[in-house]
Structures are given as structure tokens and as C-alpha cells.
């Protein structure tokens, strides 16, 4: 059994797919190096990331399959599913045979699996666009903390770079120690850990109190539907919502 490992980046995964075609060796698994578990009878080969090779695969997906297939592959990668690498490879392999029509083969398990992973990522991205809560801290920096199920920060960044283009802000993924940082010109994705507690601006504390009062005042007790609320706004996100602030 052959297992290819890569550095965990999307470019690293694309490089691995390039090498599979070049070497003509079909692996049984493609996983990030940190996720590889040594097993008896499993041969591991690590593929170093090569931006040129990754770019060639990227262009081949876009031109020979479709931009939609490229987006599906990327979103499936962001799901961080343990088998995402292998499933993406099998999906693209089929796509290079069928062309743009690959995404119409919904009954094919190779297509269905990638669509399902991509759909989960896109759903969380859409949900979080309405659940990100920035807070103004000393130093004129807006900061928002998240703990998403999937690695969606880079999908959120373009939206907020457009909507909050006149502010300095940070969206911090606490689960992965990652952040997207915007400096009023451009955003970058980087490893990030808070080394000291941030202090809220005084005005921010005042506005948060007003927001909680408003949130409570517009609630109609006779129309409360906790089940529907949790469906639209899952409870796992509540800890980072100013209006919930630990309340049910």
C-alpha cells in the first residue's frame, strides 16, 4: 500500500497530484504529513511542495475541467476531512476525462463525495458571514474570534476586506491558531496566537451593552423558537457572539 504525504497546503496537494501523473504510481491514500500514522505494509512517500508544478495542475483544472471544479476541489480541501486528498484526486482524475460535465455526474461517488465536502464548507462560510462579531480594541484594531468546523478564514476574508476596507481588523481562528489580518490595503493569512489579553475600547463596551439591550428588547417571548434558532445559528458559535455572551 502506497501513501503520499504533503505539507498540508493546497499547493502541496496539487504538487502531489502532479507527481502521481508523472510517476504513474497510484496511491491508496493522500494525507498531510502531520496526519500520517505508520502502519505495517504501508509505504510512505513525501512530496515536497513545488509552486510551479502546483500552478500547472491549477491551470489544468481550470482550463480542462472548469472553474467550478477548481472551487469544489479547494472547498473540499478546506473541509480537512481525513480522506479529502484522495477524494479530490479521484474527482479531478474523472474530471480530466469528462471535462466540464463531471459535475453533472451526481450519482458517481467520486463526484458526490467532493460536492458533499464542498457543500459543508460553503454552508459554514455563508453562515459565518452573518455571525462574525468584531470588537474594537485599544490600538484601533477590530478583532473577531471564531472556532469554525472547517478552515474557512480565507473564504471569509474577501467579503470583509470589501465591507470594512477603511478599518484594521483581524479574524482569528482559535481552533487552528490562524488569522486573516487586514491593514486597510490588503489581507494576509498567517499563523496567529494571542500572547496577551486585549483591552476593549471604552466606547466599545458601551455599544456592546446597547446591542445586548436591543437584542433583548426586540425578542417576542411568545414567538421564541429555540429549536429553529439553533438550526439557523448553531449553539457551538454562541460563545463568540456579543448578544449571547454565554446566555441561552
Q: Render pLDDT for 129-162 as a digit per residue (tens, 0 to 9).
A: 999 999 999 888 999 999 999 999 999 999 999 9
| Residues pairing with 31 in the sheet | 5
Judged against a pLDDT cut of 80, whether residue 226 lies above it is answered with no
Percentage, residues of the chain above pLDDT 70:
92
The C-alpha cell that represents 77 in the structure block: 480541501
Cα 123 vs. chain centroid, distance in angstroms?
11
The residue that leads in pLDDT, 233 or 141, is 141
Angle between helices 51-64 and 84-98 (to 10 degrees): 50
Judged against a pLDDT cut of 60, whether residue 248 lies above it is answered with no
> Which distant-in-sequence residues (6+ apart) come within 8 Å of 81 by Cβ?
87, 117
Give this prediction's pTM.
0.87
The pLDDT value given to residue 201: 78
Amino acid at each position: 500500500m502506497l501513501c503520499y504525504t504533503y505539507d498540508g497546503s493546497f499547493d502541496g496537494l496539487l504538487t502531489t497530484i502532479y507527481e502521481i501523473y508523472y510517476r504513474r504510481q497510484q496511491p491508496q491514500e493522500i494525507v498531510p504529513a502531520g496526519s500520517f500514522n505508520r502502519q505495517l505494509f504501508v509505504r510512505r512517500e513525501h512530496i515536497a511542495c513545488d509552486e510551479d508544478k502546483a500552478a500547472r495542475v491549477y491551470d489544468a483544472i481550470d482550463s480542462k475541467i472548469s472553474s467550478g471544479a477548481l472551487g469544489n476541489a479547494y472547498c473540499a480541501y478546506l473541509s480537512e476531512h481525513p480522506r479529502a486528498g484522495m477524494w479530490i484526486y479521484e474527482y479531478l482524475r474523472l474530471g480530466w476525462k469528462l471535462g466540464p460535465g463531471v459535475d453533472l455526474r451526481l450519482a458517481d461517488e467520486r463526484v458526490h463525495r467532493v460536492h458533499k465536502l464542498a457543500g459543508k464548507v460553503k454552508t459554514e462560510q455563508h453562515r459565518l458571514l452573518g455571525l462574525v462579531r468584531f470588537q474594537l480594541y485599544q490600538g484601533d484594531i477590530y478583532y473577531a474570534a471564531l472556532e469554525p468546523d472547517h478552515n474557512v478564514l480565507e473564504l471569509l476574508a474577501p467579503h470583509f476586506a470589501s465591507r470594512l476596507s477603511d478599518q484594521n481588523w483581524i479574524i482569528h481562528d482559535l481552533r487552528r491558531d490562524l488569522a486573516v489580518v487586514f491593514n486597510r490595503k490588503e489581507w494576509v493569512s498567517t499563523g496567529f496566537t494571542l500572547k496577551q489579553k486585549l483591552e476593549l475600547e471604552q466606547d466599545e463596551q458601551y455599544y456592546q451593552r446597547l446591542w445586548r439591550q436591543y437584542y433583548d428588547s426586540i425578542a417576542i417571548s411568545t414567538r421564541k423558537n429555540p429549536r429553529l434558532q439553533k438550526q439557523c445559528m448553531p449553539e457551538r458559535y454562541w460563545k463568540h457572539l456579543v448578544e449571547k455572551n454565554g446566555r441561552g
